[in-house]
Structure 1
Amino acid sequence: MFPLLQSPSSITVLGAGLMGRLLAVALAREGHRIDLYDAAGPGAEGSAARVAAAMLAPLAESAVTEPGVVRMGQHALGRWPELLAPLAAPVYFQQNGTLILWHRQDATDAARLRGTLERNQAALPDLPAMQVLDSAGVAALEPAVAHRFAQGLYLPGEGQLDNRQLLAALEATLAELPVTLYWHSARGPEDFRPGQSGQPDWVIDCRGLGARGQWPALRGVRGEVVRLHAPEVTLQRPTRIVHPRYPIYIAPKEDHLFVIGATEIESDDLSPASARSTLELLSAAYAVHSGFAEARIIEIATQCRPTLPDNLPAVRRTAERVLEVNGLYRHGFMIAPAMLDVVLQVLHTGQSPLASRFDLALQLHPAQQAAPASDSCTVP
């Protein structure tokens, strides 16, 4: 029988990345006592969430993921404003849609992408309808790039937020709640005996790749992003560029800060970004807007995203009162609100209707962990 969360309870959360912070805030607001442990510091230096564009783009991402993840993204667009409103500091949130552009030589790849998005749109009719743009349509949405692009696709309703602002706002909110923060304190589930005297009632493991000792199927997928300050550039929404090797995105934040990325490498390597990928990112940005030529490089960063064999997230119970949440891959900000709501449902009721809606791998019987790692992501 699944033990239900009683109020108030003592809960230990492992990992203070995006999921760990969201869960700690939500559970503390319910009146629970929270201990939050992280191997790094309050700046989330070891978290994949720190090196991200934080785009909320379910239809755009439908080209590379499953319908359940897309539905999580739809859920997030409504939930993020609710989650951001009570935080201790403001967080930039924008919902101006996504613009997809391409150069003439990439028209074949663009046509293929359009066909994929149209099929996905038909299968997920709740998504806002994609709009096909001619040169006048591109000019109306983004006047600054109109002279360079004669065609485009517009995905209304999609959005983004500022990941660094969010992590800082969550940290400030945790300081106001009944949460004890243990920075530079790596811990694992084996360090606790939940339910026993003097121990937490529950342990929730959100350590990402830090949990590979308990979840061997996890792997790292490397991402590289460039953060630029470009006062001469005005873009009003995340813009994706069809590229012969991989789609490149430009996400405009506040005060002319831009996050540019694309690289997705099957590697746990955390060495600095390669010259090739950096040149490709900067060249693609310049091809969109010449104002990027005078931009100042604020940061070139790399990080590895925690990924399971099917590239989908999962929640599992490995012991009586231990939950593990992992595998958010490249979709962390787009699916984190859905994952949060699923975990809260599981803790309170022992089940989650949302998990079924999202086709989410949910394993609540510890005995299942005896199965081979390759089976650990299947939905019962």
Structure 2
Amino acid sequence: MAKPLSTTILGAGLMGRLLALALARAGHAVQVFEAGGPDAEGAAARVAAAMLAPLAESAITEPQVVQMGQYSLQRWPQLIAQLDAPVFFQQNGTLILWHRQDAAEATRFGHQLSATRQQLPSLPAPQALDAAGIAALEPAIANRFAQGLYLPGEGQLDNRQLLAALLLQLQKHQVGLHWHSPRQPEDCQADWVIDCRGLGAQAQWPSLRAVRGEVLRLHAPDVALQRPVRLVHPRYPLYIAPKPGNLFVVGATEIESDDMSPMSVRSSLELLSAAYSVHPGFGEARILESATQCRPTLPNNLPAIRRPSPRVLQINGLYRHGFLIAPAMLDAVLELMEKEHSALATQWELAIETV
């Protein structure tokens, strides 16, 4: 893209904002059309915990997603540094815990991590912890767990701070922002049209399906955690992601459904009881929000790019890995737009389909 081009981006979730900013910074004229408003209330990215945990996620995803996560973990600080507004980012690793009755599930989880590291030796090795090791990492939960795993180098960020900071940069670069203005790719006239609508693109990408996720946002002044904690469980593997100001995002559920109704009592009880089992201070926490959202997922649970015509790209299927792999997807798409092919996509076996 040696000369400035006009680009229309459909969808102002995480991918839409990242792409719009990258193209605007490169001097291209960018218009963004979004069915919702500027707060990204309809985007899966607004509800996400935004954990950047390639090895931890390897228990449920493929090695190529783990590789994209490794790449993205290095890219996030660079992308955040370009923003004027502060965005919380930390890289304190992930703590994996389990109760004694779930030791067999923890053993299975550990075997999965070992298998991933055999395929991807560049991943940091998990560190086995005893009770003293857990207490040294997280004094607030000392003496509550006998064993654990520490995954060094993994990170997290604040999703809502990031979405807001990206919006400010888009406004600064005079990107055309059209809220409550849904569009179809065929309605757009531009040098490039990039469809980042997630489930909004089901009419053009029928194999997309929804996977419902539910999270609680808690304010817990009596709880101090330095890093995301994951609780191994055979049915609902809980995560607790600490954010600034004693705010915690707690989630676990994955439901094959496009239901966007409020969280069920069962899910709330399971999340709250599991969080309380990690730290009793959650018993006095205040529930600020219970949120549900459906994540766009393809049949193989892997991301993909489609090219229905030479100047139209569809980006979708990020599933539960939006923040984990978004910078990798961003760079692969920019490479594809510039060079007509992407070495990064080839490296990660990222599907690029011509329709």
TM-score between both structures, scaled by the size of structure 1? 0.92
**Corresponding position of 1:373:** none
Rounded Cα–Cα distance in structure 1 between residues aligned with 2:193 and 2:349: 24
Question: Which ranges of 4 or more aligned residues in structure 1 deviate by more than 3 Å?
Answer: none
Q: Report the Cα offset of residue 356 of structure 1.
A: 1.3
Rounded Cα–Cα distance in structure 1 between residues aligned with 2:301 and 2:48: 17
Q: Report the Cα offset of residue 215 of structure 1.
A: 0.3
Q: Report the Cα offset of residue 6 of structure 1.
A: 4.6
Q: Report the Cα offset of residue 112 of structure 1.
A: 0.9
**Corresponding position of 2:324:** 334
Q: Secondary structure at the match of 1:250?
A: strand
Q: In the alignment, does 2:144 pair up with 1:154? A: no
Q: In the alignment, does 2:288 pair up with 1:298? A: yes
What are the equivalent positions in structure 2 for 1:85-164 lying under 5 Å apart? 85-164=81-160
Q: Secondary structure at the match of 1:299?
A: strand
Q: In the alignment, does 2:238 pair up with 1:262? A: no
Q: In the alignment, does 2:273 pair up with 1:283? A: yes
Rounded Cα–Cα distance in structure 2 between residues aligned with 1:105 and 1:146: 19
Q: Report the Cα offset of residue 178 of structure 1.
A: 3.0
Rounded Cα–Cα distance in structure 1 between residues aligned with 2:228 and 2:22: 29
Q: In the alignment, does 2:348 pair up with 1:358? A: yes
Q: Secondary structure at the match of 1:255?
A: coil
**Corresponding position of 1:247:** 237
Q: Quick one: which of 32, 45, 49 aligns to 1:36?
A: 32
Q: What are the ranges of 5 or more consecutive residues in structure 1 without an aligned counterpart?
A: 193-198, 370-380
Q: Secondary structure at the match of 1:329?
A: coil
Q: What is the aligned residue count?
A: 355
* Aligned-residue RMSD, C-alpha: 0.8
**Corresponding position of 1:310:** 300
Q: Report the Cα offset of residue 11 of structure 1.
A: 0.3
Deviations 1:29-76 (CA, angstroms, capped at 9, x unpaired): 000000000000000011000011000000000110000000000001
Rounded Cα–Cα distance in structure 2 between residues aligned with 1:154 and 1:100: 6
Name the amino acid aligned to 2:135.
A
What are the equivalent positions in structure 2 for 1:132-281 lying under 5 Å apart? 132-192=128-188, 199-281=189-271
Name the amino acid aligned to 1:61.
E
Q: Secondary structure at the match of 2:291?
A: strand
Q: Report the Cα offset of residue 246 of structure 1.
A: 2.2
TM-score between both structures, scaled by the size of structure 2? 0.99
What are the equivalent positions in structure 2 for 1:15-30 lying under 5 Å apart? 15-30=11-26
Rounded Cα–Cα distance in structure 1 between residues aligned with 2:350 and 2:310: 21
Whether the 8 Å CA contact 1:224–1:263 is kept in 2: the answer is yes
Name the amino acid aligned to 1:224.
E
Q: Secondary structure at the match of 1:259?
A: strand
Rounded Cα–Cα distance in structure 2 between residues aligned with 1:308 and 1:264: 15
Q: Report the Cα offset of residue 277 of structure 1.
A: 0.6
Whether the 8 Å CA contact 1:32–1:178 is kept in 2: the answer is no
Rounded Cα–Cα distance in structure 2 between residues aligned with 1:290 and 1:283: 10
Rounded Cα–Cα distance in structure 2 between residues aligned with 1:153 and 1:320: 47
Rounded Cα–Cα distance in structure 1 between residues aligned with 2:341 and 2:22: 18
Rounded Cα–Cα distance in structure 2 between residues aligned with 1:358 and 1:237: 28
Rounded Cα–Cα distance in structure 2 between residues aligned with 1:223 and 1:6: 41
Q: What are the ranges of 5 or more consecutive residues in structure 2 without an aligned counterpart?
A: none
Whether the 8 Å CA contact 1:17–1:49 is kept in 2: the answer is yes
Name the amino acid aligned to 1:168.
A
Name the amino acid aligned to 1:284.
A
Whether the 8 Å CA contact 1:222–1:302 is kept in 2: the answer is yes
Q: Secondary structure at the match of 2:241?
A: strand
Q: Quick one: which of 53, 63, 67 aligns to 2:49?
A: 53
Deviations 1:300-336 (CA, angstroms, capped at 9, x unpaired): 0000000000000001111121100000000000000
Identity of aligned residues (%): 69
Rounded Cα–Cα distance in structure 2 between residues aligned with 1:145 and 1:286: 11
